[in-house]
Every structure is written in structure tokens, then in C-alpha cells.
Amino acid sequence: MPEYLPTAPYRGTRDFLPAEMSVRTQVFGHLYDVVERFGYQRYDGPILESAEIYEAKSGQEIADQQLYTLTDRGGRRLALRPEMTPSVARMIAGNAGSLQFPVRWYSHPNCHRYERPQRGRVREHWQLNVDIFGSDAASCEIEIFEVIHALMGEFGATRDMYAVRANDRTLLASALTDLAGVPAEHLAAVYSLVDRWEKYDRDKLAADAEEIGLSDKQFARLAETLGMGTALLDELPAEVKDASNLVQVLRSEAAELVQFDPLIVRGLAYYTGTVFEVFDTSPENNRALFGGGRYSDLAGLFTAKEIPGIGFGMGDVTLIDFLTTHGLLPSPRSEYDVAVIPVTADLTGAARSVATRLRSAGLRTSSPLEHRKLGKELTRADKAGARAVVIVGQEDWDAGNVTVRSLATREQTTVALDAAADSVAALL
């Protein structure tokens, strides 16, 4: 017996058969439509980048544990991109002289991370990235939150199905040092602890805090501070709040777009101000769906020019899970809308010419590759989801006509060849 290669894809990656691909294409199309309505322009970049840009800017977890790296024949260390933000920062910095800031850009790259595959996490995914570069105004935060709500609403999601929870790292830094008494040298480690706050029990958090170097008293003060919720804002210095874009949003008419939450941190190293995450509120899928934040100088790795930005990345896996949980996932499209069927093999060429006419009219049209009996082709068209068929018979064809049949009602009518497209379109 021959030894065949496995048919399963590499662990953590996915095959997409036509029905699944149809759903994804529809979902992705909605995403593009929404962000382009806000004036965002699409860009793309290489899937291979220098490993250094991720090691410098993406944070320890991605750089140390999740990068797919390789060394090319020239000895250069490269990585499959795990995210797009460092790449777009490089592109913005490299073209800053010709851009009219602020710019609104979006992309939808294929990204790779060496994750432990589980619900919501795979090793290859597609991520919608929406960013504003070149402005530090709070109006950028407002627009980003508006885009998020528009994206969710495009699929029929209502505000009770999800929540946009936000924090500001400058507010958090003040809360940790001024209220919780965390030493400045422990801030980075405590950020990571806060990021895990809702995932672990109190004993585990206390043990992690002790490992960081916090005393029991400091941990207790930390827990008390984080448990204050929105009341935390009242305890922070006025100058810290006045400098926060998020506080400006919360003080404005746009406050209903977002909820303040001191537990939102985001693990990526480049965030410096506003950070936010979108959560599914369903008990069946109670998790973070996607998030983002503000970076004051991400492009600083590539240029001395300071270019602030804000944006988010929405992965396809968690989005599909959300839509599935709430019954919002679109159905696959049919294989085609109309089939053109020749009654005899001699009419195959005639059927192809009719199909060409229908395609020119914008109709998704199929015709048989091999001649089979009319009944079998009608059954095939029905199973493919077609809603109409055009039957080409010899007598009709000689008279310049075809028969148009509805697969829903089984009613059919003979029409002139020139009227076939309009007749089919009326059935669809």
C-alpha cells in the first residue's frame, strides 16, 4: 500500500471550502464597506518583515513565544508577520514626506502566530486593521469608537450584545502609583498582572504579585484600587485627567460610545494612552473579541519625526464566533443563480452563447461541462441553489427563443433570446 501524505492542514490553520469561503467573503465585504464609508483607504505590505521590528515593538509574548522566524540566504532574520501595526508604522515613516496628515488607513492582512490552538485562537488568521496616523486629538478616539459600533451594527448586532471597555495607560499609571502605591520600577510587571486580573482567582493573582515584588499590603491596595470601577476617576489628580483623551471623550456627548474600565491594559508594548477592548456579553461567548489603542510615537523606531496614532485590529476568528453565537452569520451564497441547460449535446454551443449573454447582464450563470439528461441537470441546479434555469431546445432555438423556468414554482415560459436576461432577472 502506498503511504499518502496527510490531508489535514497544519495545526492551527484552516481550510476554507466554498461554502465557508462564501460566508467569509460576505463578512469581509461588510467590513470593507463600513470602514470605507468613514473615508479609510486600504493598504497592504509584505508578509515577511525583519524580525527586529516585532522584537522592538510588539511585546515580549509575541517576540519571544509567537514569532515564526527564518534566516534567509543572506543571513537576514525574518519573521512571518504576527500583526500589521509595526509594518504600517514603517510604511508611514518611510512615506511621511508625501502624506497629508492625519491619514486614515486600513488593511486586512493574513497574520501568523505560534499560538496554542483553542477556541478563538489559531496560528493563522486574518485581521482587519483600522488606524489614524498624525493626530493626537480626542476626536480620533471618538471616530474609532464610532467605526467599531458601525462595524458591529452592520451585521445586525445591538449594543446589548457587546461592550466597548476602555482605559488610558496614563490614568492607570497614576492609579497604580498614586493610589495603590506600586513602585515605578514594578509598573510594567503590574500592567501585565492587571491584564490577567479577570482570568485568575485571587490566590493566583496574589502569588503573581508576590513574585513581582509587591507586599501583601500593596496587593490589597491594588485590588481595592482596581475594584473602584468608574469611581477611580474621581480620585485621580486633575492634571492627569485633563491630559487624557479618554477622559475628554467621557466628558463629551460621545460618552455613550464607551465604558471606562480600569482593568483594560492591552499587552502590546507600543500603547501609550487610550486602550480599549470589545467584549461579547453573551454567557456562551463571554470574552474579548478585539481591541486597540493609542500609540504616541510608534513610528519612532524608523524616524525622528513624531507621528502619533490610534487604531485597532479585529481578528476573523473571534468575529465569526461572535456572529455565530448571536445568530448573525450570513448563509453561504448559492453556487450560481441560473443554469443554462441544452436539451441535446448538439445544442451545447448554443447554451454557452446564452450563458455568455446572461453573464454580460451580471447574472451568475453556469452551464454543464458534460452533457446529461435534462432531469439530472435540473436536479443538479436545484441542489446548487440556483433559482432559475434556461432550457435550450432545438425547436425554440430555431425560432430564436429559450425556455425560462423557476425552480421555486416550477413554472416556465418561452421568451425571445433577447429577453432571456430580463426574464431571469425578474425571477431572481
As a whole number of angstroms, the distance between CA 50 and CA 71 comes to 10
Residue whose C-alpha is closest to residue 249's, from 322, 146, 107:
146
Lookup: cell for 115: 499560538
As a whole number of angstroms, the distance between CA 221 and CA 29 comes to 48
Q: Sign (positive/negative) of CA torsion 296, 300, 305, 309?
A: negative
Is residue 340 within 8 Å of residue 366, measured between CB atoms? yes
C-alpha distances in Å from residue 151, one per residue of 258, 269, 419: 15, 26, 40
DSSP per position, 228-297: TGGGHHHHS-HHHHHT-HHHHHHTSTTGGG-EE-TT---S-TT--SEEEEEEE--GGG-SEEEEEEEES-
131 is in an annotated binding site: yes
As a whole number of angstroms, the distance between CA 93 and CA 57 comes to 15
Lookup: cell for 362: 451580471
266 is in an annotated binding site: yes
Lookup: cell for 21: 469561503
C-alpha distances in Å from residue 340, one per residue of 87, 125, 368, 384, 396: 48, 38, 8, 13, 14
321 is in an annotated binding site: no
- φ/ψ of 331, rounded to 5, equals -80, 155
377 is in an annotated binding site: no
Give the Cβ contact number of residue 208 at 10 Å.
Answer: 17
127 is in an annotated binding site: yes
As a whole number of angstroms, the distance between CA 24 and CA 110 comes to 13
Q: Which residues are annotated as a binding site?
A: 83-85, 113, 127, 131, 266, 270-271
Q: Which residues are annotated as a binding site for L-histidine?
A: 83-85, 113, 127, 131, 266, 270-271
